[in-house]
Structure 1
Amino acid sequence: MHPRRADRPDASSVLLPGPWEHSDYSTNGVRLHVAEAGSGPLILLLHGFPQFWWAWRHQITALADAGYRVVAPDLRGFGASDKPPRPYDVMTTAADIARLVSAMGEREATLVGHDLGGSVAWTVARFRPDVVARLVILSAPHPRRWRAALVSDFKQIGASSHVFGFQTPRSPEQRLTRDGAVEVGRLMTEWAGERWASTVDFAEARGRYQRAMLIPQAAYGALEHYRWAVRSLPRPDGVRYTRRMSIPVGMPTLQLHGGRDSCILPTTAQGSSRYVSSTYEWQTISHAGHFLPEEVPDLVTGEILRWIKS
């Protein structure tokens, strides 16, 4: 059954309490909600699908305690951020994040991006390198690698069947929100590593993300990012984007990937080094699946700190 609008949670349901503060910033024509803690050099944590800022709950406090200003925004279309009718192309979402840096009174940030947030981070680094000090990319290939795989790699095409299923209007939103957004839980269970999927923490996270997807227009906003990604492949805007992304980024880049990631295959993400002209490091986390910040939170936090300090 589809939840009636009156039965759906509102955006305030993701303003979860903790050792962080909730704020809103106006940037690039939208209002972005952020969870923030600490003071010092800025670290921006960009979540993926089907999540919201809470995916970084483990890193927010740990990185803040280490002496950093840590900010985890909800991307446009997700959580408590605005969900405009359009646009949802990755260049616009990247501009949201680049302008968020200045809206917070900062000059630059270390960008840490997971999944969709990783694609956004790669794009910010290419289009606005002046605001990016370092990159940490989790479970996300360079956009040129992913876009090529969507049309040429049969294994990744199979792993991305959900993305192709998102392309029709309306029915994917209905499928994603049916029965309390059980489809969100199914996708998470499919993509998560076995160790995390059997824990209480996973069950809590799954419930949080299912409920957040029921916020009005959240399913639409989340899916529009993927509709642009596929529909733009043959279009002039997508061709221009792919061409511009061929120029390597020029900041130190750390890339972490789960060896058991069945959503973005490790072979798809490998080879991203050709799009980095600075120091680059790749690590495979052999036992992990797709959700590295939650599956191996201490490892991720430690690697972020090591990379920033190196």
Structure 2
Amino acid sequence: MVATTTPTLQSTRFATGDGLTLAVDIYGDDQRPTLLFAHGFGQTRGAWRATARSLAGEGYRCVTFDSRGHGESDRVPAGEYHMEQFVSDVVQLAHAQPDKPVLVGASMGGLLALVVAGEIDPSAFRALVLVDITPRWESAGVERILAFMQAHPDGFLNYEDAAEQISKYLPHRAGRKSEEQLRPLLREGADGRLRWHWDPALLGGLVSESERYQPRLMSAAAKVQVPVLLLSGGRSDVVSSDTVQEFLQLVPHAEHVELSRATHMVAGDANDAFTQEIARFVRQLA
């Protein structure tokens, strides 16, 4: 996709209703249609950077943010994280935009979008793009992700060590992440070791609660009325043909596109195709 303009970038902070602030990047100006991007568990707003720049160049206003406890956003005092906090943040961010946004949500971000659109505030979004997530997911795939997230409690010796471990986790990707790419994902501790950007407390309450939310998520999905695009990875172990078909029965007006080369990390595995599908979907809304 070739950008037609050079988008502006504004980095700011967004105040939540319970006193935290979230790190936010805005690509493009306020006169353009808004796309609000919600990343997955353990990710940051940086996961959307290439897509946001490209779509902003195509004439959209793209808003990316770090969820609470992630990246440069504040952490919850005492580490007490619950789904309702994240849902509230998404609702507040949606209503803070100059126009009703299209919500693009990956994994956790997509689940939050379903709760908002189907249960909390049906008018919050113009449409939804769900990235490799369905209300019921394959537990084995999620367990594999969590195992990697918990595999290095003492952190990494240096950026080369981190790049090596990530390369082993994602062997299908060519090359290793550079130090520049890794800096937003890691924090240096007092002992000099590098640890993930997210609050370790997220692995407690939020994760332990996740599967019990599935009936609620399925109920919310069945009530979604806005246009929906589900983008799944053909090599994903989190979303399967069974969970996709179940979702399409719950949301019969949804469109499904499978990106055959992508795993659960769709935006990172097939970013050009991923971005093109979002652009196509948003254009047809008009």
TM-superposed CA distance for 1:243, in Å, is 7.1
Match of 1:149 in 2: none
Answer yes or no: is 1:161 the counterpart of 2:143.
Answer: yes
What is the percentage of aligned positions where both structures have the same residue?
A: 25
Asked if 2 retains the 8 angstrom alpha-carbon contact of 1:63 and 1:305, the reply is: yes
Asked if 1 retains the 8 angstrom alpha-carbon contact of 2:187 and 2:197, the reply is: no
Partners of 1:239 and 1:292 in 2: how far apart? 22
Aligned pairs for 1:62-101 (under 5 A) are 62-85=54-77, 86-101=79-94
- Greater helix percent: which structure? 1
Partners of 2:155 and 2:147 in 1: how far apart? 14
- From 125, 133, 136, the equivalent of 1:132 is 125
SS of residue in 2 equivalent to 1:80: coil
TM-superposed CA distance for 1:69, in Å, is 1.3
Identify if the C-alpha distance between structure 1 residues 75 and 308 changes in structure 2 by more than 3 Å, giving closer, same or farther.
Answer: same
Match of 1:261 in 2: 236
Partners of 2:235 and 2:187 in 1: how far apart? 26
Greater relative contact order (Cα 8 A, min sep 6): structure 1 or 2? 1
Match of 2:4 in 1: none
Partners of 2:269 and 2:187 in 1: how far apart? 20
Asked if 2 retains the 8 angstrom alpha-carbon contact of 1:191 and 1:261, the reply is: no
Answer yes or no: is 1:28 the counterpart of 2:17.
Answer: yes
Match of 1:190 in 2: 169
Asked if 1 retains the 8 angstrom alpha-carbon contact of 2:130 and 2:229, the reply is: yes
SS of residue in 2 equivalent to 1:228: helix
Partners of 1:210 and 1:71 in 2: how far apart? 19
Identify if the C-alpha distance between structure 1 residues 158 and 253 changes in structure 2 by more than 3 Å, giving closer, same or farther.
Answer: same
Identify if the C-alpha distance between structure 1 residues 297 and 239 changes in structure 2 by more than 3 Å, giving closer, same or farther.
Answer: closer
Partners of 1:68 and 1:21 in 2: how far apart? 14
Partners of 2:233 and 2:187 in 1: how far apart? 25
Partners of 1:240 and 1:283 in 2: how far apart? 24
Partners of 1:84 and 1:184 in 2: how far apart? 29
Partners of 1:209 and 1:41 in 2: how far apart? 28
Match of 1:12 in 2: none
Read off the aligned partner of 1:285 and give its amino acid letter.
L
Asked if 2 retains the 8 angstrom alpha-carbon contact of 1:23 and 1:35, the reply is: yes
TM-superposed CA distance for 1:184, in Å, is 8.9
Match of 2:208 in 1: 230
SS of residue in 2 equivalent to 1:43: strand
Read off the aligned partner of 1:190 and give its amino acid letter.
Y
Q: 1:143-174 deviations in whole A, cap 9, x for unaligned?
A: xx13xxxxxxxxx33333246759xxxx9496
Partners of 2:90 and 2:76 in 1: how far apart? 16
Asked if 2 retains the 8 angstrom alpha-carbon contact of 1:31 and 1:81, the reply is: yes
TM-superposed CA distance for 1:63, in Å, is 1.1
Partners of 2:199 and 2:152 in 1: how far apart? 9
Considering only aligned residues, what root-mean-square deviation do their CA atoms show, in Å?
3.3
Structure 1 alignment gaps of length 5 or more: 1-17, 147-155
Identify if the C-alpha distance between structure 1 residues 286 and 250 changes in structure 2 by more than 3 Å, giving closer, same or farther.
Answer: same
Q: 1:251-282 deviations in whole A, cap 9, x for unaligned?
A: 111111111123x14236412123325x3111
Partners of 1:90 and 1:185 in 2: how far apart? 33
Partners of 1:19 and 1:188 in 2: how far apart? 33
Aligned pairs for 1:285-296 (under 5 A) are 285-296=259-270
Partners of 2:61 and 2:44 in 1: how far apart? 19
Structure 2 alignment gaps of length 5 or more: 1-6, 189-193
TM-score by structure 2 length? 0.78
Partners of 2:264 and 2:214 in 1: how far apart? 28
SS of residue in 2 equivalent to 1:256: strand
Identify if the C-alpha distance between structure 1 residues 217 and 259 changes in structure 2 by more than 3 Å, giving closer, same or farther.
Answer: closer
Partners of 2:197 and 2:267 in 1: how far apart? 26
Match of 1:199 in 2: 175
Number of residues of Structure 1 aligned to a counterpart in Structure 2: 266
Partners of 1:232 and 1:64 in 2: how far apart? 33
Partners of 2:223 and 2:106 in 1: how far apart? 19
Partners of 1:61 and 1:179 in 2: how far apart? 33
Asked if 1 retains the 8 angstrom alpha-carbon contact of 2:68 and 2:86, the reply is: yes
Asked if 2 retains the 8 angstrom alpha-carbon contact of 1:94 and 1:124, the reply is: yes
- From 240, 245, 258, the equivalent of 1:284 is 258
